[in-house]
């Protein structure tokens, strides 16, 4: 049995490269999502006292959060917030994933444990960036947009690195599938989701619901029996997204299209932009084969690399001319 498992893992590693622009664009979207949250919301909103504790930010005795390393003063906290935004932009650029992968997780962890006003996006960000650490730490590319090249793909060290990265990606896929299953089961314990009226209450919420223009536009649906379609449709879609874990790769693109349409519709209607960006990134890791690179990004990366080489050559020529003089 162990021999079969070893042979299976070896075949996956030798024929599949985990370090592609697929996981690269997911990292970029996750970093931009968190960066957008930190850039728009001041520390006075994110890191504030709550009914459970008047201390801010939220720091336990053993907390290693970045925001717990400075005094409880909003001048320092806002300074750390902007430093975090700059670091997240560097992470989003794709530079040195082996270095920035740990920084990305630490920033996501810090915001998740210290901030009060959060949505599920920050929690997902902290978990996925942690599960991505084995992938980033084994990625020796300069940019996560580049095509990975290895001089000795059959070496034992290379095979082990690939197996570690692929196992991490499998864990991420399993985690996201469980997330949708948990969301589906939780809805089944709610009366409004069972009787088909939950979407009516969500979209009519004065704080989180639709803006007046859209609410008037969709009122003929929300105030009739047709409201059960988006309500039960949401449950059915999330259950199907869990089932995608067991679907053949040929069908992943259909699940991905439905899921992205679902989350971007939520972003458009309810304004949950950063949350939808985070789920978009998670869905790419879940439903896009990591070895199937995005061709348009690949072309852009090759163009950037050629320009970089040309600029370096010109710089060397200029330096040589100056030294000769």
String of DSSP letters for 30-58? HHHHHHHHHHHS-HHHHS---SS-S-SS-
Among residues 121, 124, 120, 118, which one has the least CA distance to residue 41?
A: 118
Structural domain contains residue 302: no
Give the pLDDT score at 227: 93
Residue 313 lies in a domain: no
The pTM of this model reads: 0.87
Residue 298 lies in a domain: no
The DSSP H or E segment spanning 109 is helix 97-114
Residue that has been written with the tokens 């969301």 in this structure: 183
Is residue 321 assigned to a domain? no
- Number of domains forming the structure of the chain: 1
Q: So what's the pLDDT on residue 61?
A: 63
**Residue 70 falls within a domain, yes or no?**
yes
Query: Residue 218: inside a domain, yes or no?
Result: yes
- Assigned domain for 301 exists: no
Query: Which residue bears the tokens 């992943």?
Result: 252
What pLDDT was estimated at residue 155?
81
Among residues 54, 23, 300, the alpha carbon closest in space to that of 137 is found at 23
Give the pLDDT means over successive 10-residue stretches in the chain (325 positions): 64 78 95 95 86 70 82 91 96 95 96 85 94 95 87 79 92 96 95 94 87 87 91 96 95 95 89 91 95 76 57 50 51
* pLDDT for position 73: 87
249 in any annotated domain: yes
| DSSP 8-state symbol, 117 | S
* pLDDT value of position 295: 80
The domain in which residue 196 lies consists of 2-293
Q: What is the pLDDT of residue 103?
A: 97
């Amino acid at each position: 049995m162990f021999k079969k498992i070893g042979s299976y893992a070896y075949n996956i590693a030798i024929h599949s490269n985990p370090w592609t622009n697929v996981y690269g664009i997911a990292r970029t979207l996750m970093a931009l999502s968190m960066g957008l949250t930190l850039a728009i919301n001041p520390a006075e909103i994110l890191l504030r006292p709550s009914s459970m504790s008047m201390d801010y930010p939220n720091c336990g005795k053993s907390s290693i959060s970045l925001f717990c390393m400075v005094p409880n003063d909003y001048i320092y906290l806002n300074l750390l917030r902007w430093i975090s935004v700059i670091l997240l932009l560097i992470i989003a650029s794709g530079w040195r994933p082996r270095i920035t992968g740990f920084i990305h997780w630490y920033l996501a962890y810090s915001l998740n444990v210290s901030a009060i006003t959060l949505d599920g996006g920050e929690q997902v960000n902290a978990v996925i960036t942690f599960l991505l650490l084995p992938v980033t730490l084994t990625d020796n590319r300069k940019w996560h947009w580049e095509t990975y090249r290895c001089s000795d793909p059959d070496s034992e060290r290379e095979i082990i690195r690939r197996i570690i990265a692929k196992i991490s990606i499998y864990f991420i896929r399993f985690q996201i599938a469980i997330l949708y299953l948990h969301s589906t089961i939780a809805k089944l314990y709610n009366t409004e989701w069972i009787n088909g009226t939950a979407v009516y209450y969500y979209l009519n919420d004065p704080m989180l619901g639709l803006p007046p223009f859209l609410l008037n536009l969709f009122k003929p649906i929300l105030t009739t029996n047709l409201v059960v379609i988006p309500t039960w449709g949401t449950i059915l879609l999330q259950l199907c997204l869990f089932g995608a874990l067991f679907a053949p790769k040929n069908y992943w693109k259909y699940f991905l299209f439905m899921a992205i349409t679902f989350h971007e519709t939520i972003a458009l209607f309810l304004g949950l932009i950063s949350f939808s960006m985070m789920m978009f990134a998670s869905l790419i890791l879940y439903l896009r084969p990591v070895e199937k690179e995005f061709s348009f990004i690949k072309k852009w990366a090759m163009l950037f690399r050629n320009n970089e080489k040309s600029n370096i050559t010109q710089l060397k020529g200029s330096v040589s001319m100056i030294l000769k003089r």
